[in-house]
Every structure is written in structure tokens, then in C-alpha cells.
């Protein structure tokens, strides 16, 4: 990269949401660094190719990032833009999460036919989601509802729902906001009902650890509160040894120097659902273990 005319190759998935997120990052970097030029490199990941099975059935960890990280390590791109919730808690050697821009709304939302809210769905209504975390929590709140798996990008999921495959679909608020589709939202789900995935709503910019020039360009996009919350949420997941086969949610909120962390672990049916909160990741993990989280996580 020339110091006189900086040029960045941004690795991104090819979905409309991924491209919107990468485009926003490019715009912010161009605003911070006039004269910067940006090139998008679209990379197809394993998670993009496998659409006939739930992610929990094909491994989950790194399904949307591994190919992009390989391109980064190979020097084919200069940075990767990820949704943090897709990024495993352990980084490959040689890579670093260089910046966490300001967080978007972390909540889950309900998109439904006739704009019905969760409480207004009739008994037996079908909610489409392939997330074990969302299914367990919503089943706990409404055991009378039915759930069906769904894959694909945001438009695909909503189209399937509207064509009659389900009465409602659960999505991340951040994705609809970034796509400019907030009018589709029937309800923002209270985190006390449906706690989001760790890192939901946070973008992260990954770079090579030895690429000082790129890291310097990205530094201006790093938000202190986003980083604090991201690291706290990922600490909880890593300490519990969470996997995509166990429903887990965690949300950290930083306000005026204080940190509030809410976390949950559940069995697949939502019958035994553990919730707690605290001001440090260590406290939250200890409380969940005291409540029996290790049994749910398969460590009897």
C-alpha cells in the first residue's frame, strides 16, 4: 500500500447485507482519510454455500469467516469486514480484530404477516428461525408456538415467510437497519425475552497483525464502548466453552463507565433456561455455572 495514495482491498461476503456493511465501512474510512481508494473483493464462504441445513448441523464455528481470513493471511485482501457474531472467539495466528465501529441495535426483531407482535400470534403459529438460541428462548416464552428452520439472506427469509412457510421470522435488528428495511419490523424483542447472540449488532474489522499501515487507517473507526462490550460478550462465550449446538445469548451494555452483562444458557427445548446478569464476565460465568450451566453445556 502506497503511503501517498492509500488503497485498501476489503474482503466481504456477497450478500446484500454484507455488501451494505462493507460499503458503510468504506464510506467511513474515506471520510476519515480523504484520497483513500477502496476495492471490494467478494468471497464465498462455506456458510454461504450450505443452505439446506441449519448451521448448528454443519459445525457453526467460522462458517462465514474462514475463507475470508485465509484470503487475508494470503495477502489477497487488506482487511475483512465481519459481523462479530459470526467470528470465533479465537483468532488465527497472524490476524487481529483491529477495530469495532459503533454498535447498531443489538436486539432481535419479529417480522410477521399482518405485523403481529409475539404476544398477538395465535396458538400454533409458526415462527421461522434456524437459531437454537432464538428457538429456545421464544419457545420458553410461548410454548404453544411452532418453529421451523429457515436459511438464506434476509430477503429470502422474509419472502418464504410471506409465501406461507411461516407466520413470522426472527431477524437481527441491525441487519434490517443497515439494509434500510426497518418498516418490515413488527416488534423489537425485549432482551429479557430473547437475548441476542454475543456480538450481535457489532461489526469488526480484521487485519493482519503485522500490517501497521492498515491498522493505523482503521484505528479511527474503533469505538471504545463497542470494544468493551464485544470483549465482555466474547469472554463469557469463551469461558463457558459455548458452541453452536447449545443455545446461548449474552448482551453487554456500557453506560457512563459501568458495564451490565446479561447472559443465558438453555436446553434445546427451552424448558431449562438459565438467565443471570452481572458487571463482569467472570461474575456472570460463575453465576451461570452455579445455576447448572455446565450440565446444559454437556460437561456433567
**For residue 1, what pLDDT is reported?**
44
| Secondary structure of residue 59 in the 3-state scheme | coil
Which DSSP helix (H) or strand (E) runs through 137?
A: helix 132-141
- pLDDT at res. 136: 97
The strand pairing partners of 42, in sequence order, are: 12
**Contact indicator for 278, 272 with CB cutoff of 8 Å:** no
Inter-CA distances, 116 with 49, 111, 196, Å: 32, 8, 21
The conformation of residue 196, written as its DSSP 8-state character, comes to: P
Cα–Cα distance for residue pair 90/215, rounded to 1 Å: 19
Give the model's pLDDT for residue 300. 46
- What's the confidence (pLDDT) of residue 152? 85
Q: How far is CA 250 from CA 35, 94, 191, 241, in A?
A: 39, 28, 9, 13
Containing 216, the helix (H) or strand (E) segment is: helix 212-218
Pairing of strands 168-172, 273-278: unpaired
| Nearest-angstrom CA–CA distance, 172 and 154 | 10
Provide the total of helices (H) and of strands (E) in the chain, helices listed first.
10, 13
Domains in the chain with CATH codes: 7-103+202-222 (3.40.190.10), 108-188 (3.40.190.10), 235-296 (3.30.160.40)
List residues with catalytic annotation: 86
Taking the C-alpha atoms of residue 210 and residue 95, their distance in angstroms, rounded to an integer, is 8
Of residues 153, 203, 152, 213, the one with CA closest to residue 23: 203
Predicted local confidence at residue 27, as pLDDT: 97
Dig out the grid coordinates for 141 from the structure: 416464552
**Tens-digit pLDDT string for the chain (300 aa):** 444 669 999 999 999 999 999 999 999 999 999 999 999 999 998 877 766 666 555 555 678 899 999 999 999 999 999 999 999 998 899 999 999 999 999 999 999 999 999 999 999 999 999 999 999 999 999 999 999 999 888 999 999 999 999 999 999 999 999 999 999 999 999 999 999 999 999 999 999 999 999 999 999 999 999 999 999 999 999 999 866 789 999 999 999 889 999 999 999 999 999 999 999 999 999 999 999 999 998 864
What end-to-end distance do the CA atoms of the chain give, in Å?
Answer: 52
Amino acid at each position: 500500500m502506497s503511503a501517498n495514495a492509500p488503497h485498501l482491498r476489503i474482503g466481504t461476503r456477497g450478500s446484500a447485507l454484507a455488501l451494505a456493511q462493507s460499503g458503510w465501512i468504506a464510506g467511513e474510512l474515506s471520510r476519515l482519510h480523504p484520497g483513500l481508494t477502496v476495492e471490494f473483493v467478494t468471497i464465498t464462504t462455506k456458510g454461504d454455500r450450505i443452505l439446506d441445513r441449519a448451521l448448528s448441523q454443519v459445525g457453526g464455528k467460522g462458517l462465514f469467516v474462514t475463507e475470508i481470513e485465509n484470503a487475508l493471511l494470503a495477502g489477497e485482501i487488506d482487511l475483512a469486514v465481519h459481523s462479530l457474531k459470526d467470528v470465533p472467539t479465537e483468532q488465527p495466528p497472524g490476524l487481529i480484530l483491529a477495530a469495532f465501529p459503533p454498535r447498531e441495535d443489538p436486539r432481535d426483531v419479529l417480522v410477521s404477516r399482518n405485523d403481529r407482535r409475539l404476544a398477538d400470534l395465535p396458538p400454533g403459529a409458526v415462527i421461522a428461525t434456524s437459531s437454537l438460541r432464538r428457538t429456545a428462548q421464544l419457545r420458553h416464552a410461548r410454548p404453544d408456538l411452532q418453529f421451523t428452520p429457515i436459511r438464506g439472506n434476509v430477503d429470502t427469509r422474509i419472502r418464504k415467510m410471506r409465501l406461507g412457510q411461516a407466520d413470522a421470522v426472527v431477524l437481527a435488528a441491525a441487519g434490517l437497519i443497515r439494509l434500510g428495511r426497518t418498516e418490515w419490523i413488527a416488534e423489537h424483542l425485549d432482551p429479557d425475552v430473547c437475548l441476542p447472540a454475543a456480538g450481535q449488532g457489532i461489526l469488526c474489522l480484521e487485519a493482519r497483525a503485522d500490517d501497521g499501515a492498515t491498522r493505523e487507517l482503521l484505528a479511527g473507526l474503533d469505538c471504545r464502548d463497542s470494544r468493551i462490550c464485544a470483549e465482555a460478550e466474547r469472554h463469557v462465550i469463551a469461558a463457558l466453552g459455548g458452541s453452536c449446538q447449545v443455545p446461548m445469548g449474552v448482551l453487554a451494555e456500557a453506560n457512563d463507565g459501568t458495564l451490565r452483562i446479561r447472559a443465558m444458557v438453555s436446553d434445546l427445548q427451552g424448558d431449562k433456561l438459565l438467565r443471570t446478569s452481572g458487571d463482569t464476565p467472570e461474575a456472570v460465568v460463575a453465576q451461570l455455572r452455579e445455576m447448572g450451566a455446565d450440565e446444559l453445556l454437556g460437561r456433567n
